[in-house]
Structure 1
Amino acid sequence: MVARTTGQPGASTAGDPYVPSHGNGGYHVESYELDLDYRVNSNRLSGKATITAVANQALSRLTFDLTGLRVTKVSVNGRRAARYTHRAGKLHVTPPAAIMDGAEFVVDVQYAGNPKPEDSPWGELGWEELTEGVIVASQPSGAATWFPCNDHPGDKAHYRITVTTDSPYQVVANGRLVSRRVKASRTTWVFDQAAPMATYLATVQIGRYDVLDLAASPVPTRAVLPAAQLRDFRTDFGRQQEMMKLFCRQFGPYPFEGYTVVVTDDDLEIPLEAQGISIFGSNHVDGRRTSERLVAHELAHQWFGNSLTPSTWQHIWLNEGFACYAEWLWSEAAGGPTADQQVSKAYTRMRGLSADLMLSDPGPELMFDDRLYKRGAMTLHALRKHLGDDAFFDLLRTWTRTHRHGSVTTDDFISLAATFSPDETALQELFAAWLDNYELPRRR
């Protein structure tokens, strides 16, 4: 499924009430080719984006999300745009000739400036300077701070990201490193992400990092981190390989070519996921495995959120509820509290909190509320008890296989779960109680 609207051609919204000012209608992006030149000391970014897309209606105007940077040139299908305007985070482009429904077209945008994160109801999002380097954390709507895009999770595309920066710095971006070329004092890194990817999962990480190869199978895994963190990292992430093997058994094959963990030299409030990459702050590495549940959480997002991406933000529990439950599955497998014990703890805590969150439609204010994570995980545990372990994990593997690299909704999951349930009425009652009510259901 891709982001679509039924409004005016080139409508400057994807119709998602959770992020009403982001995303655009009238087309589906097939690929982004981003050629970025970045100066770390001055925080100066110059970029060229080549966007290949297909119209899903006749288009006399195109709209892209781009904020905080200045556009210098726009062309459509190799011809200079008849007109473009850039204001309020929207780049409006009038092509030299109307684009027909179903036609493929290519838009080139040249732009430059000093990128900075965008303020949002969920904090600052997007391209952000570190003490020495860069972090890009875009969920849910920060991608437009560094490239023009259709910034909505339902429009997934192929990416090729080229970054040229000062040679002392290591660059990490999504996908396979295709080439690395050094010229004088600067290095050009080229990454190719073949699997479809949502804009919020696209990232660039830049820092004075060492590279540590962790595993060759079942998934090529590496870490990119400051040299000072190496010793503690080996302890804190020492069981990540066991997590990978467990999740491959429980969730199905890992969905991407490799997995990279980045540890910044700065503290981060929370770790974050990108496609094929997880980013942690130095505060998450202490040599005592204090953040091990977060290591499991971010790894699980590669299946739930990155391969299977919500078609709209209303379905965010399909990301966070599943990743939270993966924390509990890891705890259970590693000899810690069982999933049932974790549910009891979370249930007791939530009973003392406000009952104003509906999991199936939490609203933008509560889409990252901790209660959504915990209630989503409890919903999955209730489903596991209803189905039994064999059927439950078979369901999860079928879910990730059927929708691999796709966009999903809650109804998709409910429909698939029904094919595994011996009692459809009981299953519907379970989902209604956990997903569609504010009050916590009674535990059984």
Structure 2
Amino acid sequence: MVFGSTTGHPGASSAGDPYVPSHGNGGYHVESYELELDYRVNSNRLAGKASITAVAEQALTRFALDLSGLRATKVTINGRRVSRFTQRSGKLHITPANTLADGSEFIVDIQYAGNPKPEDSPWGGLGWDELTEGVIVASQPSGAATWFPCNDHPGDKAHYRITITTDSPYHALANGRLVSRRVKASRTTWVYDQAAPMATYLATVQIGRYDVLDLATTPVTTRALVPPGELREFKHDFGRQQDMVKLFCRLFGSYPFGNYTVVVTDDDLEIPLEAQGISVFGSNHVDGKRTSERLVAHELAHQWFGNSLTPSAWKDIWLNEGFACYAEWLWSEESGGLSADQQVSKAYTRLRGLPQDLLLSDPGPELMFDDRLYKRGAITLHAIRLHLGDDAFFDMLRTWTKTYRHASVTTADFVAQATQFSADQDALREIFATWLGSYELPLLPRSARKRRT
């Protein structure tokens, strides 16, 4: 896939996504990022080295990477120092000494440093952010460039190897498998490898004073990083997470990554955050009363829907949030709470009293994280479930996650997938047309008899 137009100068500094028009870049795709990060917690000083392996998808006389708030000091391409590179408006513009041929693989090495901070956006501050003691990285949809140079577009997935050196009292976490941990004097170096392709917004670093809990080894190796003062409440509030894992593996197919880690920060967070193989909660989400249990299910479900299957463009965000919201309702149904039918009725009543100005298939950047999108997306899935029946619906979901495992997806892909499981394809297409393609809230689908998942 070529990101951005091939007209004008090669390597356009946009991926052409109208939701984040200043992010992503044209003319190439990235195969891997190798990041070496040295971070001083007290001074919030980050020194980084990024080695980016990419493939040109057209002849490139120049190209751009996203990098915000940090200063590049040295750039090489295939080991040869680049004399012409500039930074402006969140972009690192690079002019190689010789044109990079269409189809050629090239390696860009970048040294950079600075005091990272969140980038302002319509959705608040995004990216690298300081905690009271440590760091949280929350990049969705466009904050990755606050801590490493990248092609910041959800459709450009790559392999990652992330090395973090920081002060020894702190635990450092990144995506993937912990390859090594080395202590030298007062500093510790952590090396993580994420072999499964990952979008930039799902790459993360979490640093804090945490106790490590081993929660399970089957069907998924699951751990938690928790502040010492939160251990008792955490064990209660997340006590049924393992049952969620088993349920979702049964309904959605095998877990798509090598492990799953939950982080609870010592600070409050407005909402939990998902990254690939990781979910991050604030201390306010742990109260010893399971008040936030639906969010535990929601973030876990994103490992299938959003992290393994990632939207090719942000207009398809309902493929993340509608599915994760429906997973909440499936867990409620399984665990003795409201059935999915009851959850749908409750959500529908609320939606009916709200403005009808959201198009699920293309909500626009202002509404892409609106709660109405979450609920309407979940109701859409329930309508499909009622149409197909349970056996065909969950078979369809498992086929969906298997067919597009670790890939980028579109709404059109999902419509085509679901249609294959319908005995009345015209009726299913009508369901998609009304729920995805109209502003007005369609009639609520008739509830089926109580079902067992």
Q: TM exceeds 0.5? A: yes
| Corresponding residue of 1:150 | 151
| Corresponding residue of 1:179 | 180
| Structure 1 runs, 4 residues or longer, greater than 4 Å off | none
Cα 1:180–1:282 change in 2 (3 A) is same
Measure the CA separation in 2 of the matches of 1:5 and 1:166: 44
Q: CA deviation at 1:4?
A: 4.7
Q: Percent identity?
A: 79
Superposition pairs of residues 280-359 of structure 1, within 5 angstroms: 280-359=281-360
Q: Deviations over 1:208-250 (max 9, x none)?
A: 0010000010000000010111000001000000000000000
| Corresponding residue of 1:199 | 200
Measure the CA separation in 2 of the matches of 1:75 and 1:10: 17
Q: Classify the secondary structure of the residue corresponding to 1:347.
A: helix
Measure the CA separation in 1 of the matches of 2:320 and 2:4: 22
Superposition pairs of residues 151-300 of structure 1, within 5 angstroms: 151-300=152-301
Q: Classify the secondary structure of the residue corresponding to 2:329.
A: helix
Q: Deviations over 1:255-283 (max 9, x none)?
A: 00000000000000000000000000000
Q: CA deviation at 1:443?
A: 1.4
Q: Residue type matched to 1:84 in 2?
A: F
1:114 aligns with 2:95: no
Are 1:2 and 1:155, in contact at CA under 8 Å, matched by a contact in 2? no
Matched residue count: 444
Measure the CA separation in 1 of the matches of 2:226 and 2:284: 13
Structure 2, gaps ≥5 residues long: 446-453
Q: CA deviation at 1:96?
A: 1.2
Are 2:4 and 2:12, in contact at CA under 8 Å, matched by a contact in 1? no
Q: Residue type matched to 2:85 in 1?
A: Y
| Corresponding residue of 1:5 | 5
Q: Deviations over 1:51-103 (max 9, x none)?
A: 00000000000100000011110111100113000111000000111100000
Measure the CA separation in 2 of the matches of 1:4 and 1:260: 35
Structure 1, gaps ≥5 residues long: none
| Corresponding residue of 1:64 | 65
Are 1:3 and 1:311, in contact at CA under 8 Å, matched by a contact in 2? no
Q: Classify the secondary structure of the residue corresponding to 2:414.
A: helix
Cα 1:177–1:416 change in 2 (3 A) is same
Measure the CA separation in 2 of the matches of 1:439 and 1:340: 21
What's the Cα RMSD here?
A: 0.7
Q: Classify the secondary structure of the residue corresponding to 2:296.
A: helix
| Corresponding residue of 1:414 | 415
Q: Classify the secondary structure of the residue corresponding to 1:322.
A: helix
Measure the CA separation in 2 of the matches of 1:390 and 1:424: 17
Q: CA deviation at 1:3?
A: 3.5
Q: Classify the secondary structure of the residue corresponding to 1:161.
A: strand
| Corresponding residue of 2:23 | 22
Q: CA deviation at 1:2?
A: 6.3
Are 1:250 and 1:396, in contact at CA under 8 Å, matched by a contact in 2? yes
Q: Classify the secondary structure of the residue corresponding to 1:128.
A: strand
Q: Classify the secondary structure of the residue corresponding to 2:229.
A: helix
Q: Classify the secondary structure of the residue corresponding to 2:136.
A: strand
Measure the CA separation in 2 of the matches of 1:98 and 1:179: 38
Measure the CA separation in 1 of the matches of 2:221 and 2:182: 23
Q: Deviations over 1:147-171 (max 9, x none)?
A: 0000000000000000000000001
TM-score, length-normalised on structure 1?
Answer: 0.99
Q: Residue type matched to 1:27 in 2?
A: Y
TM-score, length-normalised on structure 2?
Answer: 0.97
1:431 aligns with 2:432: yes
Q: Classify the secondary structure of the residue corresponding to 2:119.
A: coil
| Corresponding residue of 2:365 | 364
Are 1:2 and 1:156, in contact at CA under 8 Å, matched by a contact in 2? no
